[in-house]
Amino acid sequence: MITPFLATLEHSDFARALRETMLFYPIINTLHIFGIALLFGAIASFDIAVIARRPADRLAHLKAQCIPLAGVGLVLAIVTGVTLFIARAQHYAAHPVMLAKFALLAIGLINIALLHGSRNYRALDTSLDAEGSPRLRAAAWISLLCWIGVIIAGRFVAYF
């Protein structure tokens, strides 16, 4: 069921242009890296501050600054990542390292969803003291490790 769909994607005019046009793939790849850098830079800044038990007012400030940037980076990374995937959809869908990347990405996104729904995360917008939360720190560790894993797996796809 999925294999014909992947073959259709990979043999589309868009995928062919992506593979055969001299600058198309490198430009999309560069935008993908920018998206990853923006996402990881913003998330790492916030996660490290949470892990380091920064005061709630500092975390609230970082949250206001970093989370929107991370959102932009995530959207850019996903859009360009899907575009790059289309170029070799069948190969990537069967690639064990790419599957590991997808699993880590899913864990990272689930962690984001759970974190944003948590009382401790929402408390950062109020005067409540949230910096002592073990759950918030655990979510920050999971986030940091997942996104590092996504980046490493993404690089390894090219070599394995």
Kindly state the percentage of the chain with pLDDT values over 70: 91
d(CA 137, CA 139): 5
Segment 11-68, tens digit of pLDDT:
999 999 999 999 999 999 999 999 999 999 999 999 999 999 888 888 889 989 999 9
State the pLDDT confidence band at 132, using cuts at 50, 70 and 90.
Answer: low
Please name which of 155, 130, 159 lies closest in space to residue 40, comparing C-alpha atoms.
155
Rg (CA), the chain: 18
User: Residue 10 in contact with residue 86, Cβ under 8 Å?
Assistant: yes
pTM for the complete prediction? 0.87
pLDDT of 115 reads: 84
DSSP readout, 102-115?
A: HHHHHHHHHHHHHH
The answer on pLDDT for 129 being more than 90 is no
Kindly state the percentage of the chain with pLDDT values over 90: 74
The answer on pLDDT for 105 being more than 70 is yes
Q: Which own/partner contact pairs does 62-65 have at CB distance under 8 Å and 24+ positions apart? A: 63/124, 63/125
Please name which of 76, 78, 72, 82 lies closest in space to residue 18, comparing C-alpha atoms.
82
